[in-house]
Structure 1
Amino acid sequence: MAPSAEDIHDKLAPSILSADFARLGEEIRAVERAGADMIHFDVMDGHFVPNISIGIPVMESVRKVTRLPIDAHLMISEPARYVEAFVKAGANSISVHCEVCPDIPAMARRIHDLGARASIGINPETDADKVLPFAEHLDMSLVMSVHPGFGGQEFIPAALDKLRYIRRELKRRGLSIDVEIDGGVKLDNIADVKAAGANVFVSGSGIFGKPDYGKIMNEMRELVVHTPSKL
């Protein structure tokens, strides 16, 4: 189920963790109108990460207000227990973390069997080689550029080296999968992460913290489009 080379293109993925939850439906419609390619949906359990966020009922509500693909980013200790529920609630893609996923191929098969795209996340302190041997089973690799658990953190520059390494290794093996970057992505660094090999850009406060979503996303897209990969 891994995508072909022509499926790999740049995508902006606003993270609703930074949206105004009192107006969540309106916020999602606003970023969709502004040109978002997908919605990033952060799930936290207070165990794998030191915070609790949103879950299945909110996913069901989000699914009703947008036609965009939704990536459920499961920052939880027991993802296998919940992947089916999130897909049934409307997720098009499931991202689980390698740190709590002892059998990545089995997890990918499970997600694919449910009809969703399979993605594996890598925390800042985790070596990319924990995931790369299984990349042929995946549709996307998610690189965390902050420590997961809270929105609004500063980008960790070492994530750029990890991105370069992952994209180089994927190219060496002839694999075309999405590489997503999540954490502290803003207008002032989105070109750097594009040059390092990312093609899916998660941004929370970098978009929802701005007064004009269309303007900031257009500026981000212009930088992405005009920044070649430097691998």
Structure 2
Amino acid sequence: MLQIVPSIFAADFTRLGEQIRCVEDAGVTQIHVDIMDGHFVPNFTMGTPITESIRRVTNVQLDHHLMIEDPDTYAPIFIKAGADCISVHYEVCRNLDRTLHMIQDEGAKAGVVINPATPISLLENVLDIVDFVLVMSVNPGYGGQQFIPNALNKVRHLARTRVERKLDFAIEIDGGVGPENIADIARAGVDWAVAGSSVFHAADPARAVREMRQAAEEALSVKV
């Protein structure tokens, strides 16, 4: 079953606790937290104080996407602050397998992220290690971008590989996710769909979550 994972990057930080509780009421079990360092991506976002604050107001799973150049140093710090899942970019990890094992040893789920221009074939040797794979459907760094359709081809490849190799990693997608493409995303094989602007910029974020979840469920129930 596909999960809608709201990204707080798009939330109103003056009302962050309220907005998190709002999507929790819609049945959300996971929140996406974008960490940017201003180097790997041009934008700069939040540090561990935000993670600690979020952890105090919710028990849902906190999914941290590290868009940073030094994930080995900062992953344990965010885990200590309350992160349950840590994803790191293939593009910055010199020893990816070691980084993934380190995250797991620290007690979190470990994921690998690939940018739109990165071939999915480069992940073949770590798919038996990861807990999840995050496919970027926009170039990372800013919210509100247009969805890149080729991301779904990567998702389909991962879904086939997961079956063929009898693996159990989750497939996550992030960028441009909304009601107009959630059905295609669900049918491609995504487990976690990160949605920022389409949730928190909606008049009613809880309703936006419910409607996207329903659209995904309906898409999966239709036999082709």
1:37 to 2:32 alignment: no
How far, CA to CA, are the matches of 2:162 and 2:186 in structure 1? 15
Which residue of structure 2 aligns with residue 195 of structure 1?
187
Other structure's SS at 1:102 match? coil
Q: How far apart are 1:108 and its partner, in Å? A: 1.5
Which residue of structure 1 aligns with residue 119 of structure 2?
127
Q: How far apart are 1:162 and its partner, in Å? A: 1.1
Cα pair 1:51 1:150 within 8 Å, conserved: yes
Other structure's SS at 1:225 match? helix
Other structure's SS at 1:99 match? helix
How far, CA to CA, are the matches of 1:176 and 1:224 in structure 2? 21
Q: Which runs of 4+ in 1 moved over 3 A?
A: none
Which residue of structure 1 aligns with residue 128 of structure 2?
136
Q: Indicate the RMSD between aligned Cα atoms, in angstroms.
A: 1.4
Q: Residues 207-228 of structure 1, C-alpha deviation per residue, up to 9 Å, x if partnerless?
A: 0011112221111111111223
1:220 to 2:212 alignment: yes
Query: Which of 146, 169, 173 in structure 2 is aligned with 1:177?
Result: 169
Over the matched positions of the two proteins, sequence identity in percent amounts to 47
Task: Structure 1 unaligned segments of length 5 or more: list them.
Answer: 1-8
Letter of the structure 1 residue corresponding to residue 97 of structure 2? P
How far, CA to CA, are the matches of 1:45 and 1:21 in structure 2? 19
Letter of the structure 2 residue corresponding to residue 191 of structure 1? A
Which residue of structure 2 aligns with residue 5 of structure 1?
none
Q: Which moved more, 1:143-152 or 1:168-177?
A: 168-177
1:80 to 2:72 alignment: yes
Residues matched between the structures, number: 223
1:145 to 2:137 alignment: yes
Which residue of structure 2 aligns with residue 54 of structure 1?
46
1:205 to 2:186 alignment: no
How far, CA to CA, are the matches of 2:217 and 2:32 in structure 1? 21
Q: Residues 95-127 of structure 1, C-alpha deviation per residue, up to 9 Å, x if partnerless?
A: 110101122221111011111000000100001
Letter of the structure 2 residue corresponding to residue 90 of structure 1? G
How far, CA to CA, are the matches of 1:80 and 1:47 in structure 2? 15
Task: Structure 2 unaligned segments of length 5 or more: list them.
Answer: none
Q: How far apart are 1:170 and its partner, in Å? A: 1.6
1:162 to 2:146 alignment: no
Other structure's SS at 2:128 match? helix
Other structure's SS at 2:153 match? helix
- TM-score, with structure 1 as normaliser: 0.93
Other structure's SS at 2:127 match? helix
Cα pair 1:132 1:166 within 8 Å, conserved: no
